[in-house]
Amino acid sequence: MAIDPVCGMTVDEKAVKYKAEYNDKIYYFCCEMCYKAFLKDPSKYIK
């Protein structure tokens, strides 16, 4: 399982539809909204 960095929800990386690579790491998202929010400003969600 992975954590959606935008909303903090647990997501199944095998079933997930939305993912993005950033700084050589892959992030998974529960929905399109979280995905788009992340792409808009990735550094806001990564520490």
User: Measured from the CB of residue 23, what is the shortest distance to Zn ion in angstroms?
Assistant: 19
Residue in 18, 28, 30, 35 binding Zn ion, rule: CB under 5 A: 30
SS (H, E, C) 1-47: CEECCCCCCEECCCCCCEEEEECCEEEEECCHHHHHHHHHCHHHHCC
- Verify binding: residue 34, Zn ion, rule CB under 5 A: yes
- Verify binding: residue 7, Zn ion, rule CB under 5 A: yes
Q: Which residues of this chain interact with Zn ion, rule CB under 5 A?
A: 4, 6-7, 9, 30, 34
